[in-house]
Amino acid sequence: MRRPNVLITGTPGVGKTTLGKELASRAGLSYINVGDLAKEGELYEGFDEEYDCPILDEDRVIDELEDRMREGGVVVDYHGCDFFPERWFHIVFVLRTDNSFLYDRLESRGYTGKKLQDNIQCEIFQTLYEEAMESYKKEIVHQLPSNTPEDLERNLDQIMQWIEQWMKDNN
Ligand code: DAT
Quote ipTM for the complex.
0.99
Asked whether residue 73 is marked as a ligand-binding residue, the answer is: no
Within a domain: residue 146?
Answer: yes
Q: Cα(105) to centroid of ligand 1, in Å? A: 7
Cβ of 18 closer than 6 Å to ligand 1, yes or no, is yes
Asked whether residue 112 is marked as a ligand-binding residue, the answer is: no
Within a domain: residue 17?
Answer: yes
Beta bridge partners of 6: 75, 91
pLDDT, residue 50, reads: 80
pLDDT, residue 75, reads: 99
What is the pTM assigned to this prediction? 0.97
Nearest CA to ligand 1 atom 26: 15
Within a domain: residue 150?
Answer: yes
CA of residue 128 relative to chain centroid, distance: 10
pLDDT, residue 145, reads: 98
Which distant-in-sequence residues (6+ apart) come within 8 Å of 119 by Cβ? 11, 12, 13, 102, 106, 111
pLDDT, residue 53, reads: 86
Q: Cα(1) to centroid of ligand 1, in Å? A: 32
The boundaries of the domain holding residue 83 are: 5-36+74-170
Cβ of 20 closer than 6 Å to ligand 1, yes or no, is no
- Work out how many domains the chain is built from and give that number: 1
Asked whether residue 16 is marked as a ligand-binding residue, the answer is: yes
pLDDT, residue 83, reads: 98
The CATH number given to whatever domain includes residue 147 is 3.40.50.300
What is the distance between the alpha carbons of residues 165 and 64, in angstroms, rounded to a whole number?
A: 29
pLDDT by residue for the chain (171 residues), tens only, comes to 999 999 999 999 999 999 999 999 999 999 999 999 999 999 999 999 887 789 999 999 999 999 999 999 999 999 999 999 999 999 999 999 999 999 999 999 999 999 999 999 999 999 999 999 999 999 999 999 999 999 999 999 999 999 999 999 999
CA distances from 55 to 31, 66, 115 (A): 22, 20, 15
pLDDT, residue 51, reads: 75
What is the distance between the alpha carbons of residues 107 and 135, in angstroms, rounded to a whole number?
A: 30
Exposed e or buried b per residue across 13-35, where buried means at least 16 C-beta atoms within 10 angstroms of its C-beta: bbbbbbbbebbbeebebebbbbb
- The candidate with the shortest Cα–Cα distance to 15, out of 97, 70, 72, 126, is 97
Within a domain: residue 50?
Answer: no
Within a domain: residue 157?
Answer: yes
What is the distance between the alpha carbons of residues 49 and 58, in angstroms, rounded to a whole number?
A: 18
Cβ of 15 closer than 6 Å to ligand 1, yes or no, is yes
DSSP string, 78-144: ES--SSS-GGG-SEEEEEE--HHHHHHHHHHTT--HHHHHHHHHHHHTTHHHHHHHHHS-GGGEEEE
Nearest CA to ligand 1 atom 10: 13
pLDDT, residue 150, reads: 98
Asked whether residue 35 is marked as a ligand-binding residue, the answer is: no
**Residues 74/5, Cβ–Cβ less than 8 Å:** yes
